[in-house]
Structure 1
């Protein structure tokens, strides 16, 4: 997790989506044909496990809302990252 945190969840989600887009564009430009993710929704992410939760977030509930690395949120709603991934695959085909 990069610090300082963005001022809003919307800014964070845009930053994450932009990173997904840049990464996948590079992968597809290099003829990568398979992409595997380490999860799809923040609801079941290992990052919230107390054994893995970054120390700076363990005691800070308000900061934990900024742990949103996956394409779907904790309520299984798509985030901007989901759209970035879909667009990258559409451009690659």
Structure 2
């Protein structure tokens, strides 16, 4: 690596996601990968910090069925208010 280059092998899924995100951002996949790696390397805790913690799972929680019923009721209320 004397020239500063590095080759990485990505899975098909990772490659696809990188290409999609780069296109959406209007940059080359290489530029996006370089920026993402730079951000990761600049944050010394990024690779050791867990994606979730126990606190993420502490309540209160709403059951999915209850949330969907509440959503449907609110949607019906708004439709009725609009006369739809």
Structure showing greater radius of gyration is 2
Q: TM-score range by the shorter chain?
A: under 0.3
Tell me the TM-score normalised to structure 2 length. Answer: 0.27
- Structure number with greater CO (CA < 8 Å, separation at least 6) is 1
